[in-house]
Amino acid sequence: MTTSNPAVEEYRNFVASLAAGDGVNRVFLNSDEDKALIVLVELFKSAKTVVRIFAGNLCQHVGNQRDYIEALSDFIERGGEVKILLNKFDREAALQSDLYKRLAYYMAEQKPVYVKQTTARPYYTNDESKKEVHFTIADSKGFRIETDTEKRTARCNFNNPEEAEGVIKFFDEEFEKEYAKEINLTELFGYGNQ
């Protein structure tokens, strides 16, 4: 038997209302893993065409949560495209990850799922300390930008095309760089060259 936390439920309802808020451009802050999961699930639910993810390895924390994997899977099943760029990919951890098993399956099914590794360490240009950021961008308007990858604090918005486009431009340029190497998950999980 589980009990629900009223504060978490209130936050979940708040985030869902913003995600459904047709055109409302509102920045809100996000901290800790539970709240990160809530926002990321809503980003997958609200996305129509493409989700871009820049992360360390996605093998721990939120990327290893059932709700995250299911929301990402539902998005792919609706015809969505997923592009993932990782700067701390860990092959051994990936082999133990339910997320990567699922991504490998979709790649074997020739769904539009692309995973690459990079050496890039993105940060806000106005941040003198050059603190690394990770992010998820839904279509060309919604985002969660993790401004502290240790504390999991983030800036989020479900409808800010201007800021989202700037992050998309950075992501797409990095994704196409020569040093961004494809991670062949189908081979890693023994799907062969299907």
**Global pTM value:** 0.93
The answer to whether the beta carbons of residues 171 and 134 sit under 8 Å apart is no
Question: In this predicted structure, what is the pLDDT of residue 194?
Answer: 44
Ordered per-residue pLDDT tens for the chain, 194 residues: 445 688 889 999 999 999 998 778 999 999 888 999 999 999 999 999 999 999 999 988 899 899 999 999 999 999 999 999 999 999 999 999 999 999 999 999 999 999 999 999 998 888 888 899 999 999 999 999 999 888 889 999 999 999 999 999 999 999 999 999 999 999 999 986 54
Q: What is the maximum span of the chain, computed from C-alpha positions, in angstroms?
A: 51
Instruction: State the Cα–Cα distance between residues 44 and 59, nearest whole angstrom.
Output: 18
- What's the structural domain count of the chain? 1
User: What is the number of other CB atoms lying within 10 angstroms of the CB of residue 165?
Assistant: 13
Residue 193 in any domain: the answer is: no
The tokens of 73 are what? 């899977």
pLDDT of residue 73: 98
Domain region containing 159: 6-16+26-188
In a domain, 21, yes or no: no
Residue 194 lies in a domain: no
CA distances from 26 to 37, 74, 105, 142, 155 (A): 19, 26, 36, 10, 10
Q: Tokens representing 127?
A: 């941040």
Q: Which one, of 119, 98, 111, lies nearest residue 56 by Cα? A: 119
**Which CATH number is 45's domain given?**
3.30.870.10
